Amino acid sequence: MTMANVKTGGAASHGGHGHGHHPAPAAAQQISDYFVRIGCDPLTEAFAKRSFSPPWRGSRPVDSDDVGAVFERILATPRTETAVAYVHVPFCQTHCLFCGFYQNVWRAEAGPAYVDDVLAELAARSGTPLIASAPIDAVYIGGGTPSALAADDLARLVEGLRRYLPLTGDCEITLEGRAFGFDPAKAAKVADAGVTRLSIGVQTFSTQVRRRLGRKLAGPEVQSFLADLVALGRTAVVCDLIYGLPGQTDETWGSDIATVDQLGLDGVTLYALNMFPGGPMARAIEKGKLAAPATPSLQARAYAEAVERLAGLGWLQVSQSHLVRSVRELNRYNAAIKRGVACLPFGAGAGGQAHGYRWRNVIDIAQRRDMIAQHREPVEGLALVPADHAAHAMIAAGLEAGRLDLAAVETLRPGFRAAVAPLLANWAAAGLGELCGDGFRPNHAGAFWISNLTSGLSAGLQSATQADPSACCASL
């Protein structure tokens, strides 16, 4: 899988991607926890570590006896706004050390049957009001490693999406993948089927660092593959890079940035390494088989250096982690997820949200097939989202886009501006951004610590809610 599913400070630990469980109730956040010492270096010293404040924190699980009836109502309720869709392909050729979501080893013989499953799901759901009532303007085929599927199976899958879903004429269809097991012929095949965007998980071009991560191809091989995709000219081509990897140096990171620019890619996403406790990378570090990853302060410098260098080369920063250099790179799906739009999930392990609820498709493929055969809904983790979910999404999306609209959040949660005014004044004085009318603009330092800023402002939502607890989450 690429880091789109595991990034910190971005969306995609997000409602559409992946297969995260509902977290246990967390202790109430305090605004005071997020004040920054005036006079410190805001880029490297604002916070001791990066925090994470998911928009689903505080979700209320639906009682198991009610799941079927509630989910049926969700499917039967029309949408009034455009949505996005997420298709999960839960297979990987290898278990990369940085990944916390590995599920199934890839076997070529599993591909056709899995695509059949997803096509059957699309056909069965296509007529429901949830799906059919309004357009879908972005689809993300993620994983896992979707590009591991055979070219014909990928084409069948994309053609099925276009046949069964109410896609807009300019719908962005992203296929996530890796260079290993992919080639220009397969890329041309999926472009013929309707894929408009290829997102390749590179992480680094350094062969030495790649080998330590469990990546199969050497850096030059990945560069050659990306150059071929760009030369093909059929889709937007973007890649992911990770900073803070064990063994990564200033030189290798600088080389990665230069390579991305030289390849002529349409976009690049820069992710900080997210260590999973108990995961393969953490175990390798504990056993001394792998060097410790970079500290937050070193990650901060790497982030700021990359953003500044790419901006100087003509790249446009459109979100905290994403930069573009071409008008055809829309990044539509990821931007929509940040805004909290409805996400319609298909495939084992896909997560989605709509009508004030979030859920995950059962990830075990055999169990999922059995449940469908028994005419049971193959979903789990169905929960009512928190009362301030929309306001939280507005905060996260605003910070990601570079300007938080305080007045807009205030319309959703009266009292918010007053609750966070001292915090925002502190951040401005500490050098994390600037207040501008009814807005707050994070600078490079604020952007690096975006997850902490989101957490602090979420604490402000909690404070405003406690002052006016009358609002509650809408349900079907």
Average pLDDT value over all residues in the chain: 89
CA-CA distance, 24 to 9, in Å (whole number)?
20
Other CB atoms within 10 A of residue 375 CB: 7
Q: Which of 21-25, 126-130, 189-193 has the lowest mean pLDDT?
A: 21-25
The side-by-side arrangement of strands in the sheet containing 439-442 is 404-405, 439-442, 433-436
Q: What is the pLDDT of residue 108?
A: 67
Return the pLDDT at 468: 67
Amino acid at 294: A
Q: At what angle do helices 219-232 and 184-193 cross, to 10 degrees?
A: 40
Output the CA–CA distances (angstroms, integers) from residue 362 to 88, 204, 394, 443, in the order listed: 11, 32, 29, 40
Give 393's Cβ-side CA count (13 Å radius).
22
The DSSP secondary-structure symbol of 21 reads P
pLDDT of residue 129: 98
Range in 55-69, 78-92, 245-259, 462-476 with the lowest mean pLDDT = 462-476
Mean pLDDT, to the nearest integer, of 201-217?
90
Q: Which two tokens stand for residue 101?
A: 């979501």
One-letter amino acid of 100: G
Percent of the residues in the chain that have a pLDDT greater than 70, as a whole number: 89
pLDDT, residue 11, reads: 31
Note whether 448 and 300 are within 8 A (CB). Answer: yes
Q: For residues 143 and 246, what is the distance between their CA atoms, to the nearest angstrom?
A: 24
Helix (H) and strand (E) counts in the chain: 18, 18
Sequence-distant (≥ 6) Cβ neighbours of residue 437 within 8 angstroms: none
pLDDT > 50? residue 83: yes
Q: Quote the pLDDT of residue 27.
A: 56
Strand-pair partners of 238? 199, 267
* Exposed/middle/buried for residue 251 (C-beta within 10 Å: 0-12, 13-18, 19+): exposed
**Residue 277, both tokens:** 């406790």
Query: Is the pLDDT score of 12 beyond 50?
Result: no
Rounded to an integer, the average pLDDT of 328-343 is: 96
Secondary structure of residue 417 in the 3-state scheme: helix
Q: Residue 170: phi, psi to the nearest 5? A: -110, 30
Predicted local confidence at residue 179, as pLDDT: 94
Lowest mean pLDDT among 5-14, 102-111, 412-421: 5-14
Instruction: Provide the pLDDT for residue 372.
Output: 94
pLDDT over threshold 60, residue 170: yes
| Three-class secondary structure of residue 55 per DSSP | coil
What is the mean predicted confidence (pLDDT) over 139-143? 95
| Concatenated DSSP letters of 434-464 | EEETTEEEE-HHHHHTHHHHHHHHHHHHHHH
Residue 10 has pLDDT above 70, yes or no: no
Q: Over the stretch 171-201, which tens digit does the pLDDT of each residue have?
A: 999 999 999 999 999 999 999 999 999 999 9
Look up tokens 């792998």; give the residue.
Answer: 290
Contact 362, 379 (CB under 8 A): yes
| Whether the predicted pLDDT of 18 surpasses 50 | no
Q: pLDDT by residue (tens digit) across 85-112? A: 999 999 876 655 555 554 656 576 889 9
Task: List the beta strands (DSSP E) in 46-183.
Answer: 60-61, 83-89, 91-92, 104-105, 136-143, 167-177
pLDDT in tens, 355-404: 999 999 999 999 999 999 999 999 999 999 998 999 999 999 999 999 99
Q: What is the pLDDT of residue 3?
A: 36
Q: CB under 8 Å to 370, separation ≥6 — which residues?
A: none
- Angle at the Cα of 84 (from 363 to 92), degrees rounded to 5? 35
Distance CA 358, CA 352 (A): 6
pLDDT value of residue 470: 58
- pLDDT given at position 429: 98
- Count of positions (residues) in the chain: 476
pLDDT reported for residue 4: 36
Ordered structural domains, the chain, with CATH: 3-22+59-338 (3.20.20.70), 25-58+388-469 (no CATH)
262-307 pLDDT tens trace: 999 999 999 999 877 777 778 888 888 888 889 999 999 999 999 9
According to the model, what pLDDT value does residue 367 have? 95
Per-residue pLDDT averaged across 150-159, rounded? 98
How far is residue 467's CA from residue 307's CA, in Å, rounded to a whole number? Answer: 40
DSSP 207: H
Confidence band for 15, pLDDT divided at 50, 70 and 90:
very low
Alpha-carbon gap, residue 196 to 47, rounded angstroms:
39
**First and final CA of the chain: distance in angstroms?**
34
- Is residue 366 classed as helix, strand or coil in its secondary structure? helix
The DSSP code for 278 is T
Find the mean pLDDT for residues 315-327: 97
- C-beta separation of 414 from 464 below 8 A: yes
Tokens representing residue 417 in the block: 């501006």
DSSP 8-state class, residue 293: P
Q: Give the C-alpha separation, 473 to 153, whole Å.
A: 41
Q: Are 154 and 189 in contact (CB under 8 A)?
A: yes
**What percentage of the chain reaches a pLDDT higher than 90?**
77
